[in-house]
Structure 1
């Protein structure tokens, strides 16, 4: 009986020591997310230069098209709420997966609304976002025979209906 009591006491003591001496992540560490600086960032000055170059080389042509519609300026930027973008990316990933694609990015296209969009948008510029990726391959596949470097557009509904802007870049 004494040996059984000592055995149980040993298990309890071992459990207590294990609890206090084994490392476990703190709640703050679990909540923290490593932030990595994205590739392709440019400086604010570089962005201003790009915007100024657009104004110098494209604004006149684009705004002359808007003038034909009785407007002074065409849209030259667009914006989406952060929640809307995050929502769209989650939606596009889900849709891409259900269609058998691996979503790897997004592409932004320029577009024009056309004649049948009502007076507010008639023939004005817009931008829309399309998910990109590759058709999922079978896990048993050992070779990737694709010679194409760019990912393809995935057949998921693009995101448009954003807030347009006519002003230039001004941080």
Structure 2
């Protein structure tokens, strides 16, 4: 019912915008209306982003003895042009190979040194399991990447020949992604699991293609409007509050995205960095103000794996 109501509200806003744009000759009013409709639904406040970041440190890293992880090691940087080209590539792939690509998943990984990372894979809906299943294509074969499993097996022959799995350092093969995925399970899931019992442990966050494209366009638009020189997207691990009203997301791992300008994670139009926002306790002053008007942070993706069905 709520989704239907939101759809009707959205449709109403479109008609209102059209009506007012026909009636008014004030370009400022038109711009305000257009801007209001172009803000992605999943933009979150600066304070919410800072809280997710802090929760990750206190409830995850500190729990497994990794509390000395530096701020720089928490940012996973993707070039904006690389993600833009990647999304375009996936849309072409969907057409040429007739694959119903529904979105992308940011899948959790860890490198050989134990540092957390994330890589992006396309997804298609698995109707039987009712979740968004990641995949790649190698040697002409469609390969599922079941991040609902604890660990994955390496293939006898794996090569990156279709540019489908995007990491901060370039494209990965199925086996490259598997190693990162399995390392995350060993380094981060299992130590936390030994201390905190949960129904499931998040290892991927999914967004639809429309959501990611909308966010990219939003950053590019705001970069031009406010002279921010946004060159990338930074991915941060976060944890939701331990709030029962959040239901399945309560105390769950997630990722949130922020704009990146000259290798600095910025979270609003004023070019304020996430690091300074936290260190100067700005977010404590804004906790009660859920204002997203100037925010560049993005969250509220679908968590995966899903909880076991009862």
TM-score, length basis structure 2: 0.34
178, 183, 190: which one pairs with 1:60? Answer: 190
101, 120, 134: which one pairs with 2:228? Answer: 101
What SS is found at the alignment partner of 1:58? helix
Distance 1:106 1:78 in 2: 15
Aligned partner of 1:11 in structure 2 is none
Higher Cα Rg, which structure: 1
Aligned partner of 2:250 in structure 1 is 122
Residues matched between the structures, number: 116
1:157 Cα deviation from its structure 2 partner: 2.8
Aligned partner of 2:297 in structure 1 is 158
1:94 Cα deviation from its structure 2 partner: 1.2
| Mapping 1:2-151, distance limit 5 Å | 40-64=170-194, 67=197, 71-116=198-243, 118-134=246-262, 150-151=263-264
Any gaps of 5 or more consecutive residues in structure 2? 1-87, 93-162, 269-294
1:154 Cα deviation from its structure 2 partner: 4.4
Contact 2:258 2:265 in 1 (8 A): no
What SS is found at the alignment partner of 2:170? coil
Contact 1:101 1:154 in 2 (8 A): no
Contact 2:267 2:297 in 1 (8 A): no
Deviations 1:41-84 (A, max 9, x none): 121111101111111221113334651xxx32221111111111
1:162 Cα deviation from its structure 2 partner: 0.8
TM-score, length basis structure 1: 0.58
Distance 1:111 1:58 in 2: 14
Contact 2:233 2:260 in 1 (8 A): yes
Any gaps of 5 or more consecutive residues in structure 1? 1-32, 135-149
Check 1:72–1:115 CA distance in 2 against 1; reply closer, same or farther (3 A cut).
Answer: closer
What SS is found at the alignment partner of 1:103? coil
Distance 2:223 2:192 in 1: 34
Contact 2:231 2:260 in 1 (8 A): yes
1:129 Cα deviation from its structure 2 partner: 1.1
What SS is found at the alignment partner of 1:73? coil
Contact 1:66 1:123 in 2 (8 A): no
